[in-house]
Amino acid sequence: MFPEEIKNKMVEMGEPGFRGDQIFNWVSKGVDSFEEMANMPKSLRKELGEVFELTKNEILARQVSSDGTVKYAMKLHDGRIIESVLMKYHHGYSICISTQVGCRMKCSFCASTIGGLERNLTAGEMMGQVLAAQKDRGIRISNIVLMGSGEPFDNYDNVMRFIRLAHEEKGLGISLRSITVSTSGIVPGIYKLAEENLPVTLAVSLHCPDDESRSRIMPVNKKYNIDELIRACRTYVEKTGRRITFEYALMKGINDDIESFKKTAKLLKRLNCHVNIIGYNRVEERDFATSERAAQEKFKEFLEGRGITASIRRTLGEDIDAACGQLRNSLKTNI
């Protein structure tokens, strides 16, 4: 709930409105119970427990990579499990969160979609991933990427609510420019986000520059083809003035040849964008292999030679299956 929503409820209960801000502040610190809200009268704490439900994501397991990355398996209130990844950079801590339990996009190279979609996450369950990781490590997270399990635009309303909650100055106060939303190419979502007046970073999973090859590995392309996708991206840039990031995972024999490089450069010509080149991260059930580092360097050099900015993403957490495309429900419990 937003502070204003809690305030209104407090007034309904005969309490002063400022209690709403106090409660929101406590919840944003990740308290486990109303009893921990020390500046509240005992009688109110008891009443809050009767009126509201204070849920949290329970950390079932954590794995720490050799590079310091932490992967969490978190249990939701209904027993379902999601994964989140905490990463440390020179500029601070960043967390990759899930937006759904599973995913229905069926991208053939990704682990998150193997079991299909179970359900959407609420804004509170997304926030719970941030709060649980902060509390577990005793740190403050300054960057959020919505790139875990799930397609954010397939859960649009809850994702927008989460972004606004994360930005709320009375809570986490995370800059909107420090939040990245990733999509596999849900075109209506791109148009809607352009109207939200939220200066977040939009990341689009491209991976292939032509319809034939992209449709083969990303079924979403059959509904929203590359022409439609790029048209939406150009509109987004014009409307928001924000640069788009295109994710491109290099897979051996799939999209790492010179023709793919040429098509990508032509496709993105004169579009305010950045290409994030990713070494494909192995998924046990998938028959894909990553391209050599030399191919990644060649692609970067090729794009930059044609005026398109590009970088090679540093792979974090690969030894614990926490890298891009590897998140899934790796633990099973009875629901």
Residues labelled catalytic: 83, 324
Task: For the chain, report the end-to-end CA distance as a whole number of angstroms.
Answer: 26
Supply the DSSP symbol for 251: B
> Which ranges of the chain does DSSP label H, i.e. alpha helix?
3-12, 18-28, 42-51, 123-137, 156-167, 187-194, 211-217, 220-223, 226-240, 258-267, 293-304
Nearest alpha carbon to residue 135 among 36, 35, 18: 36
Pairwise CA distance, residues 7 & 19, whole Å: 7
Question: Cα(170)–Cα(162) distance, rounded to whole angstroms?
Answer: 14
Of 179, 132, 182, which is closest to residue 155 (Cα–Cα)?
Answer: 182
Token representation of residue 65: 């990579």
Alpha-helical segments (H) within 269-311: 293-304
Which residues are within 8 A (CB) of 197 and not within 5 positions of it... i.e. 6 or more apart?
A: none
Q: Which residue has the tokens 């439609």?
A: 228
Angle (nearest 5°) at CA 148 between 186 and 161: 65
